[in-house]
Structure 1
Amino acid sequence: MELFFSTLSFTLNVTAPVFILVFLGLLFGKIGLINDEFNRVASRLVFNVTLPTLVFLTLLHTDLTQVFAFDLLAYAALVTLAAFGWLIWHARYIIANEDKGVFVQGSFRGNLGILGLALAANQYGDEGLALTSILLALLIVLYNLLSVVALNLWRDTTDGKGVNWRRIVSDIIKNPLIIAVFIAIPTSLYQVPLPAVVLKVGDYFASMTLPLALLCIGAALDLSALRETSGLALKATAYKLLLLPVPMVFGAWLLGYEGMTLGVLFLVFSCPTAAASYVMARAMGGNAVLAANIVALTTLFGTLTISIGVFALHWFGLS
């Protein structure tokens, strides 16, 4: 019984602060403390400035030789591609073309940039944050490319508007998080000195990132969309939170990964669907209502499934 309560306490310390901030954001949005304009500006600030600063400083202060592993990156990429292939095959049985790509994207594209980093930081500190940041650099590229593929496989192109691959590649290259990672790695490895005042200002920016970002996620949740929740949205939610993360993490365990590495992989793979999937689905002619439902459902149910997963891994001594 003592082990149970100690494990439960550990789990709540990891997941509760993160999801409490998300639901506080939802509450603040409902009562008007956070409006759409504030959310838009704050989200841009987080994405373009504070989050890249957090990632950069975390990698700068971490011994990357201890967390950088090509085999881990290869595993994350391979299982993501395998999951994507399975979802594409499964989507053939969905009747409406506008639903197929949205279902695929919503089932694999996680919110790594905010929730993944926040959960890893809570559980493993700076070392876990560094490992998650490296995985994030790889998966951001992969998620964006695969999302475009999924949304275009069944897209009605009679309007003559093809896929602007040049813009997509440009957006990926100019992504502030990816830039932060690729600048931080050589800076850390070669121990490039930075002025103390720069580091201090950076710390100020970094410290505001996760609380502000989590509040924005909550404020952006549209629970009214849940009134139109479909079986397809529930199925995508099951894939995102259970049916894909469980075999992915189990496969990593079979390969010998354990401790922080296994725990970070679980947090990365089980993150709720990224809100960006709704924006992309709407822009590319997909079912935007379905996309919004998947984002809302995975965020709500993710509080439970991630907590159970963290509890189980800690209970069995795997994380």
Structure 2
Amino acid sequence: MNLVELFSRTLDTTLPVFAMVFIGIVLKRLRLIDRDFVSTASALVFRATLPTLIFLSLIKADLGVALDVPLLLFFAFATLGQFFLSWLWARFRVPHADRGIYVQGAFRGNGGVVGLALAAGMYGNYGLSAGSLLLGVVIVLYNVLSVWVLSVYQPGQTTNWRAMLKNIATNPLIISVLLAIPFTALSIELPSWVMTSGDYFASLTLPLALICIGATLSAASLRSGHQVALSSSLMKMAILPAISTVAAWLMGFSGPQLGLLFLFFASPTAAASFVMTKAMNGNVTLAANIIALTTLMASISITLGIFLLRLAGWI
């Protein structure tokens, strides 16, 4: 396979995902969708269609393949490493008041939408099922670490661990993973009409979520961006994915395992970081800037990353 064919194959994976984001931008500009639509659709995705997608992908999966304990452990430790590395950098290079937002923007990825969409595009059912398990692990880490670092730098804020544990325990994505595991482990089959209806409903998830991402991108927010947002975005989209992916390769991961890890490492900053920053009375403009910048950068950085990894023969 020559370089042109290799690059074309890479675009076949990434372009459909980011085309949906662009469609969201266009639909918002044409006023075919508005803020109320985005709010309702985002809630539908988070509370219903995405949990359904995760549940169905897991009950269809072979847990002997999807439940990759070394992969899950490496991803968890790599996430911790990204968190502390970005925090260490922020302590020396970022104003005190913005450090928590910087760190959260640098390590908290949008694996639930962008990561899963790309994983499904590259690896089909394996990408969805193994990616869903990765998502179940990282949701807990993202919430705990984000609350911790934000509370350190937000005056008057204390860490409400009881509320945070309640939010984790009632998270629809975590619940869907836990519900699916007995079905898969015991080989319990659902009626075919349930599976078909579920597939119809779950198929709304990725296009609807990606359109909502595009519709929430704000040119005004980008114009008000500054150096801290750009620094956090570069950390999220270039530095940390590169370090983590090379570390994974050195640990012996390759092929679909390494590809899956890279897609989750390289996913843009999650929109949930804005919600959490707002709840902690932080700099919401900075949080919005980081989300917008990383989302726009993702189409280039992820495409280039996949191309280079395939060129090197690592995936």
TM-score by length of 2: 0.97
Runs of 4+ with >6 A deviation: none
* Matched residue, 2:246: 250
Equivalent-residue separation in structure 2 for 1:85 and 1:257 (angstroms): 23
Deviation larger for 127-136 or 94-103: 94-103
Q: Superposed, which structure 2 residues align to 1:91-102 within 5 Å?
A: 91-94=90-93, 96-102=95-101
- Mind listing any 5+ residue stretches in structure 1 that lack a counterpart? none
* Matched residue, 1:10: 9
Q: Deviations over 1:108-160 (max 9, x none)?
A: 00001000000000011011111111100000110111100110111101xxx
Q: Deviations over 1:170-199 (max 9, x none)?
A: 111111111111111121111112122211
Q: Deviations over 1:228-265 (max 9, x none)?
A: 11111111011101110111110111111111000000
Equivalent-residue separation in structure 2 for 1:204 and 1:252 (angstroms): 36
Equivalent of 1:230 in 226, 229, 233 = 226
Letter in structure 2 aligned against 1:288: V
Of all paired residues, the percent bearing the same amino acid is: 46
- Mind listing any 5+ residue stretches in structure 2 that lack a counterpart? none
Relative to structure 1, the CA distance from residue 95 to residue 120 in structure 2 (aligned partners, 3 Å threshold; closer, same or farther) is: closer
Deviation larger for 76-85 or 272-281: 76-85
Whether 1:191 aligns to 2:190 is: no
Letter in structure 2 aligned against 1:5: V
CA-based RMSD: 1.2
Letter in structure 1 aligned against 2:180: A
Aligned-partner SS, 2:2: helix
Displacement after TM superposition at 1:166 (Å): 1.4
* Matched residue, 1:149: 148
CA contact (8 A) 2:104 2:273 kept: yes
CA contact (8 A) 1:98 1:285 kept: no
CA contact (8 A) 1:97 1:155 kept: no
Equivalent-residue separation in structure 1 for 2:226 and 2:90 (angstroms): 15
Equivalent-residue separation in structure 1 for 2:144 and 2:122 (angstroms): 30
Equivalent-residue separation in structure 2 for 1:88 and 1:107 (angstroms): 9
Equivalent-residue separation in structure 2 for 1:126 and 1:95 (angstroms): 41
Letter in structure 2 aligned against 1:306: I
* Matched residue, 2:236: 240
- For these two proteins, the number of residue pairs brought into alignment is 315
Whether 1:57 aligns to 2:56 is: yes
Q: Superposed, which structure 2 residues align to 1:45-194 within 5 Å?
A: 45-94=44-93, 96-157=95-156, 162-194=158-190
Equivalent-residue separation in structure 2 for 1:186 and 1:6 (angstroms): 42
* Matched residue, 2:36: 37
Equivalent-residue separation in structure 2 for 1:76 and 1:95 (angstroms): 26
* Matched residue, 2:201: 205
